[in-house]
Amino acid sequence: MDLKGKDFLTLLDFTQEEILYLLDLAAELKAQKKAGIPHKLCQGKNIALIFEKTSTRTRCSFEVAAYDLGMGVTYLDPTASQIGKKESIADTARVLSSIYDGIEYRGFGQEIVEDLAKYSAVPVWNGLTNEYHPTQILADMLTIREQFGYLKGIEFVYIGDARYNMGNSLMIGCAKLGLNFTACCPENYKPNADLIKTCKEIAATTGATIRFETDPAAAVKNADVIYTDVWVSMGEPAEVWEKRIAELLPYQVNKELMAKTGKQTTVFMHCLPSFHDLKTKIGKEMGERFNLTALEVTDEVFESAQSIVFAEAENRMHTIKALMAATL
């Protein structure tokens, strides 16, 4: 498998074999890390991390993975570079790719990371756009495979705002790898029709199924994985909270919903960060304003034995490391 020089912008650009290769490499590098075996596969290289939105997991994963691989890292925070304000994406790409061996980008529209890749001579990795979050999917799939031992045929339910980066990317990931994907949401929160059509075509070749359901109880019956994300994503205006809460509260993941799968083995997943209690500034503000103790998932589920969110978060680092090792 040769992925050297390849950009990582959306999983649509990768075959099932290529994605499985990245997962296998991540598992191998994870085992090496746990055993204290050095794996400086990219010694002497350097990468740039561009973040136009904030991050904990993605930034830390790219940095630690780069150090483990023997690389140097420059972090450009949402205010620290000229990008977009004084310098175009095309110029930035040509400057950075003459200095660095790889570039990570987190920001707004998918067209920005695509432009960056177009003008860059080195691999560009998408660290989240409004439309896609492909490195998250690698971690999620590794975590599911660790939990169940397989991916094909897993009953995967994504519940909540399915129009945004996580809903889109999980649907693609499930279609590519043969999981049965259900998006449970109101009609107006479904991914766009073109992407659904594309994913159904992919699913037809991998044995996956793609289904939409507005009723949470019907959606989660038989689920192996219940996955949710925040109801308001980075970059969206605060004014949308009221409508989101009104429309998505019936889709909150709580103990009653988890019990409706009919399986003891169902796990709960979330890309994080999560509003599962009122211990964050926004969580507290919304909780007090709308008289809630949690938003997209209750604290009880988040903290339960069924929740594998922290194993999932750890796998961000191992999978991002595999991605860089494979493409550099």
Going by DSSP bridges, is the β-strand pair 155-159/180-184 parallel, antiparallel, or unpaired?
Answer: parallel
CA distance 304 to 289: 26
The verdict on whether 229 is a catalytic residue reads yes
Residues that bind ligand CP (CB under 6 A): 55-58, 128, 136, 271-273
The one of ligand CP, ligand NVA, none whose footprint includes residue 269, by CB under 5 to 8 A per kind, is: none
End-to-end CA distance of the chain: 13
- By a kind-dependent CB cut-off of 5 to 8 A, residue 56 interacts, out of ligand NVA, ligand CP, none, with ligand CP
Judging by beta carbons within 10 Å of its beta carbon (0-12, 13-18, 19+), is residue 95 exposed, middle or buried? middle
In the region spanning residues 111 to 140, those forming contacts with ligand NVA, defined by CB under 6 A, are 128, 133
Q: Is 185 labeled as catalytic in the residue annotation?
A: no
226: which strand partners? 157, 268
Distance in Å, CB of 328 to ligand NVA, minimum? 24
Q: Which of 47, 51, 95 minimizes the C-alpha distance to 71?
A: 47
Active site includes 60? Answer: no
- Annotation marks residue 264 as catalytic: no
Which member of 145, 229, 244, 318 is catalytic?
229
**Catalytic, out of 59, 101, 136, 270:** 136
Q: Is 211 a catalytic residue?
A: no
Catalytic-role residue among 57, 59, 106, 163:
106
Instruction: Please tell me the distance from the alpha carbon of residue 19 to that of residue 86, in angstroms, as a whole number.
Output: 37
Residue nearest to ligand NVA (CB): 233
Smallest CA-to-CA distance from 1 within 19, 126, 13 is with 19
Cα distance between residue 240 and residue 99, in whole Å:
41
Q: How far is the CB of 4 from ligand NVA (least distance, A)?
A: 28
Q: Which of the residues 148 through 177 are near ligand NVA (CB under 6 A)?
A: 164-166
133 included as an active-site residue: yes
Q: Which residues are catalytic?
A: 106, 133, 136, 229, 271, 316
The binding site for ligand NVA (CB under 6 A) comprises 128, 133, 164-166, 229-230, 233-234, 271
